[in-house]
Amino acid sequence: MPFIETNIDTHSEAINEEVIYQNPLLFLKIWEICLEAQHCSVVENHPWHYHKEVEFIAVIEGHLGVQSKHNYVVLGPGDVMVLGASQPHRSHKPLTDILHYVVFQIDLGKHFDQSTMPYLYCFSELTEPLDKLNYIFDVNESAKRETYAFIMEIFNESQTRMRGYEMAISSTIKRLMLLLLRSDSRNVLNYTEETELNRLRPVLDYINDHLNDKLCVEDACTLLNLSYHYFIKYFKKTMGVSFVEYINYKRIKRSELLLLTSELSIMDVSYEVGISNMAQFYKLFKRHNQCSPREFKQRMRSESTRAATLSSVSVSDK
């Protein structure tokens, strides 16, 4: 799938598209699109749009034309493509054949935990959009086939919703990111050696152990015996996010866990994760989850109830 350079600069009028997650726990939306034969269209008739989620496309049958900020490509059966977060793009049906493809939109940042957090910076797109990874699918046929298979596996799990499908999808997402990381021969993801992360380990452990306390960058500097300005630059370069952003991320992740597993009030949860200002807590939580803590809790309970109902129906049918 060769990329064609284009100078069309109409992406400034792109629509900011809100992605409604099919499962709020997984922070993703995946669906299939089927278009009949004969009908085709020109790309200029389709509006530019973007969203904060990364988008993967997998073509099952037919051909799909996709225009991104700098490139235009026609994907055929078995082809895949990735579009980075907030990258303007548009697509169309360039030929008269039947078109059948899957669109997979996901907030990758939500799928990092304590063990994989050091790799968040690789996918943070601070220096390069993930679109740059499309070269992998041109030069590595095996990686393209595996990526296609992962997308279809996630799609099938989201459709069947068998018991544990959330675990299956979460696992496949991590395998997909691992595949991209290991297939990135040009180091677009800016992977750094573990020694860089090990140097920060005392600070990361300190943050994890003192989330409910007041955390200051000066204390972190003292732990590593580094100057303030050198530390904040080193932390962001290594982790992909700033010191404050990392702390906020950890606090919100812990608050999500408390909202799901405890009967604490929202105010108590806020205090437990070290945020005494409720307005600030709501602001940070909504930034990470696109909903308030109360809405998050209600959604999770609704999802749990629905899953339990599906499970009981499945058992009774056997």
Q: Out of 86-95, 158-167, 290-299, pick the least confident.
A: 290-299
pLDDT in tens, 11-27: 456 788 889 999 888 99
- Whether the CB-CB separation of 215 and 207 falls below 8 Å is answered with yes
Q: What distance in Å separates the CA atoms of residue 313 and residue 318, rounded to the nearest whole number?
A: 9
| CA 172/CA 164 separation, integer angstroms | 13
* Spatial distance between the Cα atoms of 30 and 158, rounded to a whole number of angstroms: 8
Joined together, the tokens standing for residue 17 give 């598209």
Percent of the chain with pLDDT over 90: 54
The CATH-assigned architecture of domain 4-183 is: Sandwich (2.60)
> Where does residue 26 rank: exposed (0-12), middle (13-18), buried (19+ CB within 10 A)?
buried
CB half-sphere exposure, 13, CA atoms < 13 A: 6
Instruction: Specify whether the CB–CB gap between 224 and 202 falls below 8 A.
Output: yes
| Residue 9 in this model has a pLDDT that exceeds 50 | no
Which residues, other chains included, contact 120 with Cβ-Cβ below 8 Å and sequence gap of 6+? 109, 112, 239, 240, 241
Quote the pLDDT of residue 287: 84
Of 238, 251, 123, the closest CA to residue 188 belongs to: 123
Q: What is the pLDDT of residues 188-236, one digit of tens each?
A: 887 766 667 778 889 988 998 999 898 999 999 999 999 999 999 988 8
Beta strand segments in the chain, E: 4-5, 15-16, 28-35, 49-50, 54-61, 64-68, 71-75, 80-83, 89-92, 99-106
Question: Which is higher by pLDDT, 15 or 3?
Answer: 15
Radius of gyration, CA atoms only, the chain: 22
Q: What is the mean pLDDT of the chain?
A: 86
Structural domain boundaries in the chain: 4-183, 194-300
pTM greater than 0.75 (yes/no): no
SS3 61: strand
The DSSP call for residue 291 is: S
What would the mean pLDDT of 90-102 be, rounded to a whole number?
95
Cα–Cα distance between 133 and 143 in angstroms, integer?
Answer: 11
Tell me how far CA of residue 297 lies from CA of 72, 147, 254, 257, 275, in angstroms: 42, 33, 13, 10, 18
Give the pLDDT mean for 46-61: 94
CA distance linking residue 235 with residue 233, whole number of Å = 6
| Exposed/middle/buried for residue 97 (C-beta within 10 Å: 0-12, 13-18, 19+) | middle
* pLDDT of 44 higher than 60: yes
Topology given in CATH for the domain delimited by 194-300:
Arc Repressor Mutant, subunit A (1.10.10)
Q: Distance between CA 30 and CA 130 in Å, rounded?
A: 18
Q: What is the pLDDT of residues 251-284, one digit of tens each?
A: 988 898 788 778 889 999 999 999 999 999 999 9
Distances (CA, A) of 186 to 94, 123, 196: 31, 15, 20
Q: How far apart are CA 84 and CA 124, in angstroms?
A: 10
pLDDT reported for residue 257: 79
Ramachandran area for residue 264 (φ above 0: left; ψ -120 to 50: alpha; else beta):
beta
Q: Are 121 and 189 in contact (CB under 8 A)?
A: no
pLDDT at 125: 79
pLDDT of residue 171 exceeding 60, the answer is yes
Q: 99 with 35: CB under 8 angstroms?
A: yes
Closest C-alpha to 180, from 241, 125, 101, 237: 125
Tell whether the model's pLDDT for residue 300 goes beyond 70.
no
Mean pLDDT score, 64-78: 91
